[in-house]
Amino acid sequence: MGWLLEICDITKSFSGVPVLNGVSLSLQAGEIHALVGENGAGKSTLMKVVAGLHQPDAGELRLDGNPTRFRSPHEALLAGVAMIHQELLPFLDLTVAENIFMGIEPVSGPGWIDRPALHRKTVELLDRLGLKIPPDRRMRELRVAEMQTVEILKALAHNARLIIMDEPTSALTDREAGALFAILNDLRQRGASIIYISHKLEEVFRLADRVTILRDGCHVATHPIGGITTEALISLMVGRPLANRPRSAPGRAAPPILSVRNLALGRRFNNVSFDLAPGEVLGIAGLMGAGRSSLLSALYGLDPADSGQISIGGRALKISSPRNALDAGIGLVTEDRKVSGFIPLFGPRQNMTLAALRRWCRFGWIDQAAESAVADEQIRLFGIRASGRDQPVLRLSGGNQQKVVLARSMLAGPGVLLLDEPTRGIDIAAKEEVHRIVSDLARNGTAILLVSSELPELLSLSHRLLVMCEGRITGTLDPRTTTQEEILTLAMPG
C-alpha cells in the first residue's frame, strides 16, 4: 500500500545553525504516528516544514507519491494538511466559533458569513469533544486548557487528511485528553492520518500505531508500537537510560510558613484555607477550571483575592502585586509561559535574572560578567538547549522556554514557590530533572505549592494533596495511600 506522506532527507538550519539533518519519515493512510524526542530535537521544526510554515533548505516532501512543496500554510491546508501548534495561536478578541472556522467560514452569497450555520457547525464540533463552551464566547475569556481544545477543533474543522498535533494535551487533564483520544481513533477509522507529538509516553503507547524518535535533528529510529518498550524508547530519545529517582522524603513537622484562610475571589474560588510548611510539597489536583490557577495567581498578587487572609511566617500580609509577593518570598511559575512567562526577545540570561536583577547590580549598574556566569550555570543545570545565553527565548523550543521560566523563579530564591503546571511541554529527561530540583528545593526548606494536571507527577512529588472542585477545596489526601479513583471522585462536581 502507498504512503500518504513521505518526508525525504529534510535539512533545515536557522542562521547557520543546523536544526534538521536529513530527516526522513513515511506515513501511511489511517495511521497514528507518534513523534518523540527531547526538547529541541527538532520535532516542531520538522512539522512546520510539513505544514508549509518553514521552507526546507534541502530535501523534499511527497504527498501520495507526488513531490510537493507548500509555500504557505494555506497551500498545505488546501492539500488537506492541518497542524495544531505547540504554542497556542488564538484570536483572543474573536469568538470561539470564529476561531475554529477562521478562513473556512460558511458563507451565503458572496463573502457574507452565514452566522446560523457557523453556530450550528461549532456546536456539532464542541459536542464531539463533549465540551460546553458557548460558541460566541470570546477566546480571551477562556482558560488555557479550553483554548487548547479550541485549537484541536480548528484542525478537525478543516476535515484534513493529515493532522499534525504538536503536544495537544500539554494543558489538558486526563478527562479531556480521553475525549480527544476517542476522536483520534474515530478519525483513524475513517482513513485520516495523524502525526502526534507528545512528551507523555503513556499517551504514545495508548494511541500510536508507530513511533519515530528524533535526536539532535536526526532520525534515530521508527518502530511499530508493539515492538518497543518504554525504557527502550527513553534511551533512544535521551541516548542513555534514565536513573530511577528516589521517592521524596516526607515533609518535616514545622510551623507553617504560608497560611491561607478563607481566601475568595469572585466566582473563581472561595473559602480556601490551608497551611504550608517549609520543606513541604503540597499538591493541588482538580479538573479543568477547578480554580487552581486562579488561586495561585491570587497568592502571587497577579489577580489579588477579594477577601480572606494570607500570612507568611505568621505575619498577615496584603499581597496586591507580584512585587509584594516577591518581597514576601513568594515565587510563581505561571501556566502560560508565552503570555506571562518570558520576554520573547530577551535571551535566557536576561530572562532568568529579570526578577532578581538587583542581586547582580551595584548602584543600579548591572555586573554583566556575574550575570552571564549565573546564566551559564543555570543553562547547564537545566540542560537548556540554546545557541547561547543571548539567543532570543522566542526561538527556543517550547520545552527549553519552560526551563528558562523555571530557572528564573528559582533564581529569585523564594521561600514559597508556586508552580503551575511546571513540566508542561518538557521532555521526559528534563521532567525528571525538574522533579529532582523540586525535591531538592523542598529538602533545603523551600515550601512548594504544586498544581499539575498529571496525577503521577502529583502523586510522586507531593507530601500532601489537596483536591479542588468548582473553586472549593473538597478534600486533603495522603499521596502515598490514595488512588486515582479517590482523587477523581473528589474532583468531579456533584
Partner 1 sequence: MSPKPATPKSRTVLRLLERFGLVIVLLIIGTALTLLQPQFLTSANLLNVARQISINGILAVGVTYVLLTGGVDLSLGSIVALTGVVAATFAHPGEWPVLVPIALGILSGACCGALNGLVITRGRIAPFIVTLGMMTLARGLALLLSNGRPVSNLGTGFLAVGGDFLGFPVQILILLAIAGASRLFLSNMRLGRHIFAVGGNEEASRAAGLNVAGIKTFAYTMSGGLAGLAGVMLAARITTGQPNAGVAYELDAIAAAVIGGTSLSGGVGGIGGTLLGALLMGVINNGLDLLNVSSYYQQIIKGIIIIGAVWLDRRQRN
Ligand X SMILES: Nc1ncnc2c1ncn2[C@@H]1O[C@H](COP(=O)(O)OP(=O)(O)OP(=O)(O)O)[C@@H](O)[C@H]1O
Site for ligand X contains 292 (CB under 6 A): yes
Site for partner 1 contains 63 (CB under 8 A): no
Site for ligand X contains 56 (CB under 6 A): no
Q: How far is the CB of 487 from Mg ion (least distance, A)?
A: 16
Distance CA 27, CA 441 (A): 44
Phi, psi dihedrals of residue 148, rounded to the nearest 5°: -65, -40
- Contacts of residue 281, Cβ cutoff 8 Å, sequence gap at least 6: 248, 251, 438, 439, 442, 448, 450, 461, 462, 463, 464
Q: How far is the CB of 187 from ligand X (least distance, A)?
A: 23
Q: Which stretches of the chain bind Mg ion, using CB under 5 A?
A: 44, 86, 293, 335, 397-398
Q: Which of 31, 33, 44, 424 binds ligand X (CB under 6 A)?
A: 44
Nearer to Mg ion, 277 or 419 (CB): 419
CA distances from 269 to 18, 464, 467 (A): 48, 20, 13
The amino acid at residue 439 is S
Nearer to partner 1, 87 or 275 (CB): 87
CA distances from 407 to 113, 235, 340, 417, 458 (A): 47, 26, 15, 12, 20
Site for ligand X contains 200 (CB under 6 A): no
The amino acid at residue 395 is R
Dihedral sign computed on CA atoms, order 327, 143, 151, 154:
negative
DSSP reduced 3-state for 68? strand
DSSP states of 403-455: HHHHHHHHHT--SEEEEESTTTT--HHHHHHHHHHHHHHHHTT-EEEEE-S-H
Q: How far is the CB of 440 from partner 1 (least distance, A)?
A: 23
Site for partner 1 contains 302 (CB under 8 A): yes
Read off the C-alpha cell for 368. Answer: 554583566
Q: Which of 9, 105, 275, 390 binds partner 1 (CB under 8 A)?
A: 105
Q: What DSSP state is assigned to residue 159?
A: T
Site for partner 1 contains 69 (CB under 8 A): no
Q: How far is the CB of 79 from partner 1 (least distance, A)?
A: 11
> Which residues on neighbouring strands pair with residue 21, listed in sequence order?
none
Site for ligand X contains 52 (CB under 6 A): no
Q: Which of 339, 377, 478, 484 binds partner 1 (CB under 8 A)?
A: 339
Q: Contact region for partner 1 (CB under 8 A) — 103-111, 178-186, 201-209, 312-320?
A: 103-111
Q: Taking CB under 8 A as the rule, which mask of x and - marks residues 154-193 in contact with partner 1? A: x---------------------------------------
Q: Which of 71, 229, 365, 493 binds partner 1 (CB under 8 A)?
A: 365
DSSP states of 282-308: EEEEE-TTSSHHHHHHHHTTSS--SEE
Dihedral sign computed on CA atoms, order 72, 75, 77, 81:
negative
Grid look-up 512548594 returns: 448
Q: Contact region for partner 1 (CB under 8 A) — 189-197, 351-359, 422-430, 459-467?
A: 351-359
Q: How far is the CB of 398 from ligand X (least distance, A)?
A: 4
Where residue 239 falls (left for φ over 0; alpha for ψ -120 to 50; beta otherwise) is left
Q: Which of 395, 435, 436, 472 binds ligand X (CB under 6 A)?
A: 395
Q: How far is the CB of 284 from ligand X (least distance, A)?
A: 8
Site for ligand X contains 336 (CB under 6 A): no
**Count, residues near ligand X per rule CB under 6 A:** 33
Where residue 64 falls (left for φ over 0; alpha for ψ -120 to 50; beta otherwise) is left
Site for partner 1 contains 203 (CB under 8 A): no
Site for partner 1 contains 219 (CB under 8 A): no
Q: In what order do the strands lie in the sheet with 218-224?
A: 81-84, 162-166, 193-197, 32-37, 210-215, 218-224
Site for partner 1 contains 316 (CB under 8 A): no
Site for ligand X contains 403 (CB under 6 A): no
> Which residues on neighbouring strands pair with residue 173, listed in sequence order?
none
Distance CA 3, CA 443 (A): 53
Site for ligand X contains 213 (CB under 6 A): no
Q: Which of 31, 280, 335, 432 binds ligand X (CB under 6 A)?
A: 335
Distance CA 159, CA 162 (A): 9
Q: Contact region for partner 1 (CB under 8 A) — 222-230, 300-308, 417-425, 469-477?
A: 300-308
Query: Scanning residues 422 to 451, which ones bind partner 1 (CB under 8 A)?
Result: none
Q: Which of 32, 41, 156, 228 binds ligand X (CB under 6 A)?
A: 41
Site for partner 1 contains 111 (CB under 8 A): yes
- The residue ranges that bind ligand X (CB under 6 A) are 14, 19, 37, 39-45, 86, 143-145, 268, 286, 288-294, 335, 385, 395-400, 427, 453
- The residue ranges that bind partner 1 (CB under 8 A) are 11, 13, 15-16, 51, 53, 57-58, 72-74, 76-78, 83, 85, 89-94, 98, 102-103, 105, 107, 111-113, 115, 154, 264, 266-267, 300, 302, 306-307, 321-323, 325-326, 332, 334, 339-346, 350, 354-355, 357-358, 361, 364-366, 368, 408, 412
